[in-house]
């Protein structure tokens, strides 16, 4: 269960130098197909923050082809160390106005690119480690030493409503959308992470589906394995109990079509089909590429939008390319 105290930094286990604490805020403008990501990965034992600000509305197959991308690896963690109110030297200022529920995200690069949005939660935080919330965690709790990636031993996802605006070199774009944020804490090495598809589809303030999947990523079509997720209906998150899915990718490994079937804890089924609108190789942290796509979805016949983040390590991609085991590894 997530408590108000979880908005702040958590104790570092075993003085681990690879311990990480993260915040991600993602939002978009559907008319412009503009997808925005605000990310900070803190290394408390090292005293540094890895932060990226990305904005993209088209096919940006290289990071410098995006509308905007500011990537910093060694920003100092400001003192006192607080996740509820921090300002970084890249111009990012994040303030939590109600613990784990409402945030304000501000950014100014000093050259005309800015962010000024507010996030209002539409549900309580969804704790993927809580068996009372997550049916899959409950089912796996009987397995000895079960953990799906140590970096996500502490993790919650949450759907909310973003309002405000962004400016890209003084061109202003309004933001008014439903999207999903997350917060993670735990040891996070820079090699050895499993492949992960973190995705969500939002119809309106009363209906959204979020899910985390595993996948193989050795071909142009990937069968997905459900790990965690929820369907948010009228402000309540119902944990996903089962599901299946398939992602069809282009030759650059980006999702072009996604088909999902999931069933929540009430036994209600949700059928989703997503079509990729954009492409951007998000370098979330060293040795990792997030094949990011803003997608148009149909969810039980209703239209929605949301993001696909397919994470694969560069060492894995290089091995596939070197072996020539997949026509997609280019």
Instruction: Say which CATH number the domain at 255 has.
Output: 2.40.370.10
**How confident is residue 141, by pLDDT bands cut at 50, 70 and 90?**
confident
d(CA 276, CA 258): 8
The answer to the question of residue 149 being in a domain is yes
Provide the b/e sequence for 168-192 (b: ≥16 CB within 10 Å).
beeeebebebbbbbbbbbbbbeeee
d(CA 82, CA 90): 17
d(CA 6, CA 100): 7
Checking if the pLDDT of 144 tops 70, the result is no
Checking if the pLDDT of 149 tops 90, the result is no
C-beta separation of 279 from 309 below 8 A: no
Average pLDDT, the chain: 93
Looking at residue 322, its pLDDT comes to 82
How many domains does the chain fold into?
A: 1
Range of the domain at 278: 4-187+194-323
The answer to the question of residue 231 being in a domain is yes
The answer to the question of residue 329 being in a domain is no
What does the pLDDT average to over 288-308? 97
pLDDT digits (tens, 9 = 90+) for 74-105: 999 999 999 999 999 999 999 999 999 999 99
The answer to the question of residue 330 being in a domain is no
Q: Of the given ranges (74-83, 140-149, 303-312), which has the lowest mean pLDDT? A: 140-149
The answer to the question of residue 328 being in a domain is no
Looking at residue 151, its pLDDT comes to 45
Give the end-to-end CA distance of the chain in Å, rounded to a whole number.
43
The answer to the question of residue 31 being in a domain is yes
The answer to the question of residue 293 being in a domain is yes
The answer to the question of residue 164 being in a domain is yes
Checking if the pLDDT of 204 tops 60, the result is yes
Looking at residue 299, its pLDDT comes to 98
**How confident is residue 321, by pLDDT bands cut at 50, 70 and 90?**
confident
Locate all alpha helices (DSSP H) within the chain, ordered by sequence.
135-140, 314-323
C-beta separation of 195 from 316 below 8 A: yes
Looking at residue 148, its pLDDT comes to 44
Looking at residue 218, its pLDDT comes to 66
pTM, two decimal places: 0.94
Q: How are the residues of the chain apportioned to helix, strand and coil, as percentages rounded to the nearest 5? A: 10, 55, 35
- Per-residue tokens: 278: 């954009």
């Amino acid at each position: 269960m997530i408590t108000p105290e979880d908005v702040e930094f958590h104790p570092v286990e075993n003085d681990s130098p690879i311990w990480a604490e993260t915040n991600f805020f993602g939002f978009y403008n559907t008319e412009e197909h503009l997808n925005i990501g605000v990310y900070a990965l803190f290394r408390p034992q090292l005293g540094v923050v890895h932060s990226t600000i990305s904005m993209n509305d088209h096919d940006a197959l290289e990071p410098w082809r995006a509308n905007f991308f500011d990537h910093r690896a060694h920003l100092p963690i400001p003192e006192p160390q607080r996740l509820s109110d921090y300002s970084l030297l890249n111009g990012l200022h994040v303030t939590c106005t109600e613990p784990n529920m409402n945030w304000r995200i501000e950014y100014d690069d000093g050259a005309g690119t800015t962010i000024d949005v507010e996030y209002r939660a539409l549900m309580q935080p969804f704790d993927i480690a809580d068996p009372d919330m997550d049916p899959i965690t409950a089912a796996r709790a009987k397995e000895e030493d079960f953990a799906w990636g140590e970096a996500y031993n502490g993790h919650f996802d949450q759907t909310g409503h973003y309002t405000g605006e962004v400016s890209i070199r003084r061109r202003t774009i309004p933001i008014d959308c439903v999207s999903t944020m997350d917060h993670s804490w735990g040891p996070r090495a820079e090699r050895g992470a499993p492949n992960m598809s973190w995705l969500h589809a939002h119809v309106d303030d009363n209906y959204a589906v979020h899910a985390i999947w595993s996948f193989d990523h050795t071909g142009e079509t990937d069968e997905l394995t459900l790990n965690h997720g929820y369907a948010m209906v009228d402000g309540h998150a119902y944990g996903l109990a089962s599901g299946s899915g398939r992602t069809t990718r282009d030759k650059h490994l980006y999702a072009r079509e996604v088909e999902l079937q999931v069933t929540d804890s009430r036994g209600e089924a949700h059928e989703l089909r997503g079509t990729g609108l954009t492409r951007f190789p998000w370098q979330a942290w060293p040795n990792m590429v997030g094949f990011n796509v803003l997608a148009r979805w149909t969810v039980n016949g209703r239209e929605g939008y949301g993001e696909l983040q397919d994470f694969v390590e560069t060492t894995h991609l290089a091995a596939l390319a070197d072996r020539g085991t997949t026509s997609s590894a280019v």
